């Protein structure tokens, strides 16, 4: 929503909105002259309508309930109301567009595409789900005729998008509050694919390979059955070096400063989209070395009493697994993009939605058990009704059953979680917070805490 607001304001529209929390993003909107109300109430709609020659267009997201006072006031005033996907669909339709969808990696892939195109002189408009470091924003009104957008599949609204180039990064059941099963998700993604003039897909994903016939495939495992491939020649916790193939021909080598095979997959997807768009490989090759991950993707927050705090948006078992595997690679290879190489992995996980935790409790337990120490925050409901049959204690018990020797603690509150961090973590630990809720506030909370007296030496912590 904030990206759309920023783009429309840059294009000369009068934009207003509401948000109950202050943030860096909100400040950017205020700096752009956008009116931001600090609460959501009917009087906001009345104030916007007052002394206006034109009736305002109201844009809402799926997160806005029907009893929201602003939405009710807009309906009472008979204002035109659009879902955010309708507005994004119009932007996509109005210009050449690259739209990225899939269960995992959307934000990172669309960030990489935007960065590579920008370095190549294209200056695309961008509507991304996270802050793009190159732009220092999640939204940008570019000067070229090209648009890059992230297509959220969570509510099925992406079937409205008709892009020039569409990408599907992978397919795995998620958002069980909307999708009844995997077939429901596949059906929705097929509808999205049919609306794309060209569709690019991840050959390494079995669900995609079995159900789709895109215009081109990409892979990190083979170059023989795909149009684009990135085959790693060197992998460590700091970078990945890979050979890039296009239609069985070796184009050259890249040095990717984002560790992990999942990031290499995101990168070859971005290269594929840029090559289809006509960008010369040598330009992409140079730009790749400057890549930075978007916000909340293994995002280094700072050092707290010798512990490195990293925040990640991972909230699905596969995402949690990829993030933990990347951290373990840093410890194993003693190579890391962090200021110092960590010696122990403390995984702090906040389950996001009761429905997701209930569906994937075993899968979460399997992957969280790969850490050296696990702390669990209470479930972040994200608007769902409280489910008494599932909580973080249930997940903790499942982890302990699978990994009896692993130390696993479940906090009753964020305040208790902060105390457990103080009491149970040591110098040279990597404290990795994961979740799509408010777990990213841990870094701020820790900065307000006094030093703990329970440190261990580096040798003991190792």
Task: Parse the chain into domains and list their residue ranges.
Answer: 2-79, 86-288, 299-461
How would DSSP label each residue in 427-456? TTEEEEEE-SSSGGGHHHHHHTSPPPS---
pLDDT at 451: 53
The helix (run of H) or strand (run of E) holding residue 198 is strand 198-202
Report in angstroms the alpha-carbon separations of 292 from 109, 268, 304, 315. Answer: 11, 15, 23, 21
pLDDT at 448: 80
Query: How far is it, in rounded angstroms, from Cα 30 to Cα 314?
Result: 29
pLDDT at 165: 97
β-partners of residue 252 are 244
The helix (run of H) or strand (run of E) holding residue 43 is helix 42-49
Return the number of other C-beta atoms located less than 10 Å from residue 249's C-beta.
8
Tokens linked to 426 = 């040591």
Query: How far is it, in rounded angstroms, from Cα 421 to Cα 406?
Result: 16
Superfamily in which the 86-288 domain is placed by CATH:
Mur-like, catalytic domain (3.40.1190.10)
Query: How far is it, in rounded angstroms, from Cα 435 to Cα 312?
Result: 7
Would the CATH topology of 2-79 be identical to that of 299-461? no
pLDDT at 23: 82
Query: How far is it, in rounded angstroms, from Cα 30 to Cα 25?
Result: 9
Name the residue with tokens 């170059």: 223
According to DSSP, residue 131 is labeled E
Per residue of the chain (462 residues), give pLDDT as tens: 999 999 999 999 999 999 888 888 899 899 999 999 999 999 999 989 886 778 899 999 988 889 999 999 999 999 999 999 999 999 999 999 999 999 999 999 999 999 999 999 999 999 998 889 999 889 999 999 999 999 988 888 999 999 999 999 999 988 888 898 999 999 999 999 999 999 999 999 999 999 999 999 999 999 999 999 999 999 999 999 999 999 999 999 999 999 999 999 999 999 999 999 999 999 999 999 999 988 888 999 999 999 999 999 999 999 999 999 999 999 999 999 999 999 999 999 999 999 999 999 999 999 999 999 999 999 999 888 899 999 999 999 999 999 999 999 999 999 999 999 999 999 999 999 999 999 988 998 898 876 544 433 333 443
pLDDT at 274: 97
Tokens linked to 138 = 């999640």
Fold exhibited by the domain 299-461: 3.90.190
β-partners of residue 99 are 149, 166
Measured over the CA atoms of residue 384, residue 69, residue 26 and residue 56, the dihedral's sign is: positive
Measured over the CA atoms of residue 132, residue 137, residue 138 and residue 139, the dihedral's sign is: negative
pLDDT at 450: 61
Strands 125-132 and 307-312: unpaired
Tokens linked to 209 = 């390979």
- The CATH label, of 3.40.630.30, 3.20.20.70, 3.40.50.720, 1.10.760.10, for the domain at 2-79 is 3.40.50.720
β-partners of residue 83 are 60
Tokens linked to 259 = 């560790």
How would DSSP label each residue in 305-321? TTEEEEEE---SHHHHH
pLDDT at 456: 38
């Amino acid at each position: 929503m904030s990206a759309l607001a920023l783009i429309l304001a840059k294009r000369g529209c009068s934009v207003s909105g509401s948000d109950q929390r202050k943030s860096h993003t909100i400040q950017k909107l205020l700096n752009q002259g956008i009116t931001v109300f600090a609460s959501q109430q009917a009087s906001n709609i009345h104030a916007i309508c007052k002394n206006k020659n034109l009736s305002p267009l109201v844009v809402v997201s799926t997160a806005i309930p029907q009893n929201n006072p602003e939405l009710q006031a807009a309906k009472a005033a008979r204002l035109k109301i659009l879902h955010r996907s309708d507005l994004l669909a119009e932007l996509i339709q109005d210009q050449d567009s690259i739209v990225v969808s899939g269960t995992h990696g959307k934000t990172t892939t669309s960030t990489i595409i935007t960065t590579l195109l920008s370095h190549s002189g294209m200056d695309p408009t961008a509507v991304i789900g996270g802050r793009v470091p190159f732009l220092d924003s999640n939204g940008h009104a570019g000067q070229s005729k090209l648009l890059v957008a992230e297509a959220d599949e969570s509510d099925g609204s992406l079937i409205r998008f008709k892009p020039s180039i569409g990408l599907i990064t992978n397919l795995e059941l998620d958002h069980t509050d909307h999708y009844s099963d995997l077939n429901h998700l596949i059906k929705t993604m097929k509808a999205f694919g049919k609306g794309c003039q060209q569709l690019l897909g991840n050959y390494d994903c079995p669900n995609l390979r079995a159900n789709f016939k895109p215009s081109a495939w990409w892979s990190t495992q083979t170059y023989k059955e795909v149009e684009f491939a990135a085959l790693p020649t060197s992998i460590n916790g700091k970078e990945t070096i890979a050979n890039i193939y296009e239609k069985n021909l070796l184009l050259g080598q890249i040095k990717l400063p984002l560790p992990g095979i999942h990031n290499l997959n995101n990168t070859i997807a971005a290269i594929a989209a840029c090559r289809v768009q006509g960008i010369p490989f040598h330009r992409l090759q140079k730009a790749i070395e400057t890549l930075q991950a978007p916000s909340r993707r293994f995002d280094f927050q700072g050092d707290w009493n010798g512990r490195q705090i990293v925040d990640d948006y991972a909230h699905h078992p596969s995402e949690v697994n990829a993030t933990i595997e990347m951290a373990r690679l840093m410890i194993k290879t003693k190579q890391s993009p962090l200021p110092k190489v960590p010696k122990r992995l403390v995984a702090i996980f906040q389950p996001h939605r009761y429905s997701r935790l209930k569906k994937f409790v075993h899968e979460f337990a399997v992957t969280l058990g790969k850490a050296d120490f696990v702390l669990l925050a209470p479930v972040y409901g994200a608007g769902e009704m409280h489910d008494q049959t599932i909580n973080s204690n249930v997940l903790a018990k499942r982890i302990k059953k699978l990994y009896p020797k692993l130390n696993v603690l479940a906090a009753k509150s964020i305040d208790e979680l902060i105390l457990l961090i103080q009491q149970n973590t040591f110098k040279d630990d990597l404290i990795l917070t994961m979740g799509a809720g408010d777990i990213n506030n841990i870094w701020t909370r820790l900065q307000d805490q006094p030093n703990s007296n329970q440190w261990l030496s580096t040798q003991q912590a190792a």
